[in-house]
Amino acid sequence: MADYFAVQALDSYPAIDQAQAGEVGVAYGEFSITATVPLLAATDLIHMVWLPARHRVVDCIIQMDQIDNVADLDTNTGLTDDPDGATEDPNALIDGDVTSGRAITMARMDEPAGLLIAPTNNRRRFGFQIDVDAATQLAGTLRMWLMYRASDSRDA
């Protein structure tokens, strides 16, 4: 058996305490739909939460009720509005293949690109993009928890 070490695990590397690491913040968003309003269609965006200016995404968790009993009403989760004019990437945090409106779903960030979203001087919206038109839409609630931390010299 061999031992391998990341640079950050070497004896000479200082342990970062909570004061140095900064606190993790959480933005929570909740969006309720009825069986008919709004009737969700492919490419619709549901903006859920703001990422503060000069902050980085750390993690994301989503939970959705069963909102369709026929179609796989998949949703992508990611950047839905960027005031800096950058291309939105609704698939940056959670790939739509892991979510389905036909069942109660809970998913956690699975896209590495989410950790690489560079901080900017403007706040940005994160949320869902609908992949497939609703077939038989049901009333339900979509929820998002976006965890983030302040940007610092580690992000240069």
Domain of 88, CATH number, reads 2.60.120
In percent, the amount of the chain with pLDDT more than 70 equals: 72
Which residue type sits at 14? P
Instruction: Judge whether 10 lies within some domain.
Output: no
Instruction: Judge whether 124 lies within some domain.
Output: yes
Q: Is the pLDDT of residue 5 over 80?
A: no
Each residue of 20-64: pLDDT tens digit? 667 888 999 988 888 776 777 777 888 889 998 888 899 999 888
Residue 113: pLDDT band with limits 50, 70, 90: confident
Instruction: Judge whether 20 lies within some domain.
Output: no
Instruction: Judge whether 150 lies within some domain.
Output: yes
- The residue among 3 and 114 whose pLDDT is bigger is 114
Other C-beta atoms within 10 Å of 86: how many?
13
3-state secondary structure of 77: strand
Range of the domain at 39: 27-155
- Cα-Cα-Cα-Cα dihedral sign, residues 87, 88, 94, 97: negative
Number of domains the chain is built from: 1
Instruction: Judge whether 72 lies within some domain.
Output: yes
Q: What is the pTM of this model?
A: 0.78
